[in-house]
Amino acid sequence: ARMGRTLVELFYDVISPYSWLAFEALCRYRNIWNIDLRFRPAFLGGIMQQTGNKPPAMLPKRGEYLLKDMKRMAKYYQVPLRMSPDAFQHLMGTNSLTAMRFITAIDMTNPQYLEPLSREFWMRFWSQYEDISQPENILAIARQAGLPAELSQKALEMISSPPVKDRLKDTTTEALKHGAFGMPAVVAHYDGKPHLFFGSDRLELLGSVIGE
């Protein structure tokens, strides 16, 4: 972090809708708060597995509430997140590993595209309900996010390489070490120690802890 600025890390997966809300809100706060925001693409599946966590919608009453909550949050944050009745089937039927490896490859090679690319993945998955697991869809998403074709092609070729797999694994492990059990996991490095905040609804608390 630059002098006197608080480093705030956002560990996220584009399959997580609450991560999108936290991402957009933190992108706005970045202009007001004295923070350096660092995006940390990680793998939600790995975090759920390692901590024994289960998707909240597996509890029907909680699933019912989440649909309503997500609609309210999307409206409040003005993020074009759509919750349809089959949102959870859509979610459960998708593996985000390829997408997160692609995003990780871009983070390693051309990090200036990380923000627009991540946003476009959320747009496709949570606003347009499109598939984000197939290579041709991933390339279309990258193109829409403004990435040159040769960069996307190169990143796609990198997704099965050890450096990319290791980087995604390491970032996920780092989130776990901070105490993450789901996404989004927001870690503020303040007063010489990391402070973990879970979810997109703890940002006023985050502000208070870091003196904003």
Sequence ranges of the domains in the chain: 6-210
16 is catalytic: yes
Which one, of 187, 189, 184, 38, lies nearest residue 114 by Cα? 38
Give the type of residue at 197: F
| Catalytic pick among 16, 96, 118, 152 | 16
Per-residue pLDDT of the chain (212 residues; tens, 9 = 90+): 556 899 999 999 999 999 999 999 999 999 999 999 999 999 999 999 999 998 888 888 998 899 999 999 999 999 999 988 788 887 888 899 999 999 999 999 999 999 999 999 999 999 999 999 999 999 999 999 999 999 999 999 999 999 999 999 999 999 999 999 999 999 999 999 999 999 999 999 999 999 99
Do residues 119 and 23 touch, judged by C-beta distance below 8 A? yes
The tokens of 107 are what?
Answer: 């983070």
6-210 placed in CATH 3.40.30.10: yes
Do residues 118 and 27 touch, judged by C-beta distance below 8 A? no
Which one, of 197, 190, 191, 14, lies nearest residue 119 by Cα? 14
